[in-house]
Amino acid sequence: MTSTFILASLIEPAIGLIFWTTITFILLLVLLGKFAWKPILTAIKTREKGIEDALASAENALNDMRELKSNNEKILAEARAERDNLLKEARDTKDAIIAEAKAKSQAEADRIMSSAREQITNEKNAAVAELKNQVATLSIEIAEKILRSELSSDEKQKALVNNLMKDVNLN
């Protein structure tokens, strides 16, 4: 039978094809290995390395940026704290100044008041002394005038002495 005959040839490797395949395959292996696979694989590897490096540097940049950002934030926070501090200090200073001024003015006022009071007292005392002097002078003048009039006659002098003596007896 034809088919059986050829079927046998199908699973029986032909020497010619083995020969040519061996030569061709080895040649292909060498040529491709040298002129195709080596440059292609090298190029792919270079690119992969490039991508890896790029990714790494991007990661680094990201990290740097993150660091920078956190630094910025830190600086900002510090600045904010500083500002708050300054404000607080200013407020304190202001309060202190106001308080001091208040205290000073109070003291000044007190001093002025006290000196005024003192002056008033002095003036008053002086006035009182003056007044006393005046009163004394007046009194003496009045008394002199009265005495002059009372003691102008002997009768009047006797009456007075009697009067005085009466008082003394009653006591």
Residues that bind other proteins (CB under 8 A): 1-7, 9-22, 24-25, 27-29, 31-33, 35-41, 43-44, 46-47, 50
Instruction: Output the six-digit token pair for 80.
Output: 């904010």
Residue closer to other proteins by CB (options 25, 78) is: 25
Nearer to other proteins, 11 or 168 (CB): 11
CB of 50 or CB of 109, closer to other proteins? 50
Q: Residues 25, 17: contact at Cβ < 8 Å?
A: no
Q: How many CB atoms lie within 10 A of CB 86?
A: 10
Residue closer to other proteins (CB basis): 38 or 158: 38
Which residue number, 49 or 74, has a Cβ lying nearer to other proteins? 49
Write the CA distances from 140 to 11, 41, 129, 132, 156, integer angstroms: 175, 143, 16, 12, 20
Distance of CA 84 to the CA centre of its chain: 3
| Least distance in angstroms from the C-beta of 63 to other proteins | 24
Q: How far apart are CA 152 and CA 155, in angstroms?
A: 9
* CA–CA separation, 115 and 158 (whole Å): 57
Residue 64 CB, shortest distance to other proteins, in Å, is 24
- Smallest gap from residue 58 Cβ to other proteins (A): 15
Instruction: Tell me how far, at minimum, the Cβ of 65 lies from other proteins, in Å.
Output: 24
The least distance separating other proteins from the CB of residue 25, rounded to whole angstroms, comes to: 6
Residue 68 structure tokens: 């920078």
